[in-house]
Amino acid sequence: METTLRGVGVSHGVAIGEVRHMGTAVLEPPAKQIPADEAEREQGRARQAVEAVAADLIARGNLAGGEAQHVLEAQAMMAQDPELMADVERRIAVGSTAERGVYDAFASYRALLAGAGEYLAGRVADLDDVRNRIVARLLGVPMPGVPDSDEPYVLIARDLAPADTALLDPALVLGFVTEEGGPTSHSAILARALGVPAVVALPGAGELAEGTLIAVDGSTGEIFVEPSDAKRAELESAAAARKATLTAATGPGATSDGHKVPLLANVGGPADVPAAVEAGAEGVGLFRTEFLFLDDSKQAPSEEKQIAAYRAVLEAFPEGRVVVRVLDAGADKPLDFLTPADEPNPALGVRGLRSLLDHPDVLRTQLTALSKAAEGLPVYLEVMAPMVADRADAKAFADACREAGLNAKFGAMVEIPSAALRARSVLQEVEFLSLGTNDLAQYTFAADRQVGAVSRLQDPWQPALLDLVALSADAAKAEGKSCGVCGEAASDPLLACVLTGLGVTSLSMGAASIPYVRATLAKYTLAQCERAASAARAADSAEEARRAAQAVLSGE
């Protein structure tokens, strides 16, 4: 009998197939004591396992490329954390086996992360995956992971570690469903990059029996269990119609009455550029530069290395717009040479622009490298600061740009509610705003983007978040300046129409989402988008806002 479940749709498309479950978690190793004379050998085993797991994660990242590479490299750094390894060796020195020492040390570190604020608590799943890989290697058992199958299937998991998501084969994994996670979790971001339909935060997903036929709608978040022939035909027809619409929609982003809405790509480095170009991106709306700095947490990359990486991206968009975010370090992206190691709550501490202003030499080198990378290129370079709180922050960044002789527009990211509430003040110092809706939602609702239990508060359809977007867009219009969105909200085609109606002037997203957004925008006039935006803001919940906007755009 057909039943319907609902989670959070995070990656567009429809997948119909049989359920296959992720492998079970590594068992807890026994707590047995070893003789003192075996401690050195066990410590060596632990170090070898850690290095092997870190190397494997880096190798997987190199194979995957793009966003996945950056996530996996960060995970490898987590495995090699010197303080964590020192704790493992201390535990072995007093009698633990290598596997038990790893297990207990990671458990202790896990408890610290869980209580260390939103960003670090959100990395618990990544830490668990690293622990499982190390313990599995020490025990000599297979690492739990994506099941072996000769036939395509829908993958079900409690959560998906980045190392598993990054190397999913879209030819076999038709889609995936997780019990945990949120719309901006690593799994969700990587699913969009892969173009795999996905639904997260579905309680009870693990109870779906192996081999059960299900249909996954990654746009609506609906899961149809044992769908009827009629439902399957309906979903397949809708998917075919959607594909035809995508194929027909080409050219720059615009509403049906010609209101231009540039569609830009979010990229993490040169590896992401080919997909963006193929999708018809009109430029880059968010160039995350952290990938360069995460290679070595002990020191910043040289100016020459930065110039080469930046130029590779700038050259791909001749006469296009490229918006670069300067280094956003801290919280879940700690760097030994830049961020404090003893903050009680790193997400609310010295991160983003605050870190850079504390280390002006790092900011100066990056701005100089960007300036040199753009020399002689017909590109419209724009540079923005992360985590701007007020006009003083904006002025400090603008002054640094001028002092570095940067020939570019400089702007501020709106990720903190204070920046949205005082957007006109911020715009006295910078030339544009860019809304990072992922962090803006976190800080508005005190809801970690990695925690499925609070996923309703991470939903970018929340009316309070739309209010902050409207405040920012209105301020930019009043000042004659631009206000884009570069957070994950822009990748939702229906929400993209609402953002356009709120006055947002450009939309930036993962390359895989650009065709969907382009096709949807082209169906509606600007006036329809404005009415949908008003209806969404008048609602009292995210679900009501979504339904209200849909009703307006469908003419109900």
**Ramachandran assignment for 212, one of left (phi > 0), alpha (psi -120 to 50 degrees), beta (any other):** beta
User: Cα–Cα distance between 297 and 58 in angstroms, integer?
Assistant: 15
Count Cβ neighbours within 10 Å for each residue of 324-356 and write b for 16 or more, e otherwise.
Answer: bbbbbbbbbbbbeebbeeebeebbebbbbbbbb
User: Token digits for 391?
Assistant: 């006009």
Residue with tokens 């100066």: 364
DSSP structure string for 300-352: PPPHHHHHHHHHHHHTTSTTSEEEEEPP--BTTB--TTTS-S--S-GGGSS-T
Q: In this structure, are residues 291 and 350 in contact, taking their beta carbons and an 8 Å threshold?
A: no
Q: Say which residues have a Cβ less than 8 Å from residue 500's Cβ, sequence separation at least 6.
A: 255, 259, 261, 507, 521, 526, 529, 533
Distance of alpha carbon 51 from alpha carbon 81, whole angstroms: 11
Among 70, 401, 483, 486, which one carries the catalytic annotation? 486
Report phi then psi at 147, rounded to 5: -65, 150
**Amino acid identity for residue 268 in this structure:** G
Q: Kindly give the pairing relationship between strand 506-509 and strand 3-6.
A: unpaired
- Please give the C-alpha separations between residue 74 and each of 7, 105, 123, 142, in angstroms, as whole numbers: 28, 19, 11, 23
Distances (CA, A) of 397 to 350, 400, 425, 486: 15, 5, 14, 19
401 is catalytic: no
Contact 339, 351 (CB under 8 A): yes
483 catalytic? Reply is: no
Active-site position among 186, 401, 483, 497: 186
| C-beta of residue 273 within 8 angstroms of C-beta of residue 312 | yes
Give the C-alpha distances (Å, rounded to integers) separating 497 from 198, 258, 478, 525, 531: 22, 14, 21, 9, 10
Token pair 């609902």 is found at: 6
**Catalytic residue numbers?**
186, 486
